[in-house]
């Protein structure tokens, strides 16, 4: 009986520790330890179809959803820079083990003049029960800023506030041989064309997107606002494609004989 009770106590202790560990992973600075309870910016976990080893990613921000919506409008152009104290945390899960392995962080910090007022940092761990350790980023300009600079129109932030209810109602696929990139979506998501058709991909967003075949048979390269890309589909097949800038975006072309 005593042994049983001890076992039970131990079980509870382990349970409590596990729950606590899930609630606030060890090793996180206080300012973003509770990040998982913040506003989630992405509608669905981001995955990278070209790299099955990379796990799903989620992005959280320490702003109220309403405030965030007022900052990032349709097309994700920010109306004002994010204010002091804003923190954005992107977590990446380990596919095989199912725990958060890497955190990338952007913190608004006016002292960071070389990186446009954002402090870029990262943390990682190799097991779920380990404390996070800071990742040494020797040159945040080269390693982080230079890539994020392409999002100049949205204060260097890629992830739009993808609340699907914000997507424009009644946005219907255009007919024919055209895919519109709008509000961070490819439309129509499935386009059916006859073999031999040239499809135009047109970017109506204010930010850069691209179009990349999952089998790498074509890639548009960066499509700026109003950018166009043409691709001819000669043989019957189904082509999956995605945007390598924002990996959440996907679509497919069904080429019929
Ligand atoms: Cu995109």
Q: Give pLDDT tens digits along the chain (257 positions).
A: 333 334 344 444 443 333 344 456 789 999 999 999 999 887 666 665 555 566 778 899 999 988 887 776 544 456 668 889 999 999 988 877 788 999 999 999 999 999 999 999 999 998 889 999 999 999 999 999 988 887 777 788 877 654 333 333 333 334 457 888 877 888 888 999 999 888 888 887 767 889 999 999 999 988 877 778 888 999 999 999 999 886 778 999 999 99
Residues with Cβ–ion distance below 5 A, ligand 1:
209, 243, 245-246, 249
Three-state DSSP class for residue 88: strand
pTM of the model: 0.66
Q: For residue 41, how far is its CA from the centre of ligand 1 (angstroms)? A: 15
Q: For residue 149, how far is its CA from the centre of ligand 1 (angstroms)? A: 15
Count the helices and strands in the chain (H runs, E runs): 4, 14
Q: For residue 140, how far is its CA from the centre of ligand 1 (angstroms)? A: 23
Signed CA dihedral, 102, 244, 35, 95: sign only: negative
Q: How far apart are CA 46 and CA 49, in angstroms?
A: 9
Three-state DSSP class for residue 253: strand
DSSP annotation of 180: E
């Amino acid at each position: 009986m005593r042994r049983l009770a001890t076992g039970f106590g131990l079980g509870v202790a382990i349970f409590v520790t596990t729950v606590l560990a899930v609630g606030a992973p060890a090793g996180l600075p206080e300012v973003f330890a509770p990040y998982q309870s913040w506003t989630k910016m992405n509608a669905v976990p981001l995955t990278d179809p070209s790299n099955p080893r990379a796990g799903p990613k989620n992005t959280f921000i320490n702003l109220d959803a309403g405030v965030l919506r007022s900052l990032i409008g349709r097309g994700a152009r920010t109306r004002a820079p994010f204010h002091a104290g804003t923190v954005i945390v992107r977590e990446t899960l380990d596919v095989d083990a199912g725990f958060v392995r890497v955190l990338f962080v952007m913190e608004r910090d006016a002292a960071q003049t070389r990186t446009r007022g954002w402090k870029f940092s990262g943390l990682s761990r190799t097991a779920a029960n380990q404390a996070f350790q800071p990742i040494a980023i020797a040159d945040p300009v080269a390693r982080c800023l230079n890539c994020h600079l392409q999002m100049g129109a949205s204060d260097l932030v890629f992830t739009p506030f993808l609340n699907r209810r914000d997507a424009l109602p009644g946005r219907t696929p255009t007919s024919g041989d055209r895919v519109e990139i709008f509000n961070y979506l490819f439309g129509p998501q499935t386009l059916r064309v006859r073999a031999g058709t040239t499809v135009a991909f047109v970017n109506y967003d204010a930010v850069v997107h691209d179009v990349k075949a999952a089998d790498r048979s074509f890639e548009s390269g960066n499509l700026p606002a109003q950018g166009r890309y043409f691709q001819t589909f000669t043989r019957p097949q189904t082509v999956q494609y995605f945007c390598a800038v924002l990996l959440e975006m996907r679509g497919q072309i069904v080429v019929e004989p």
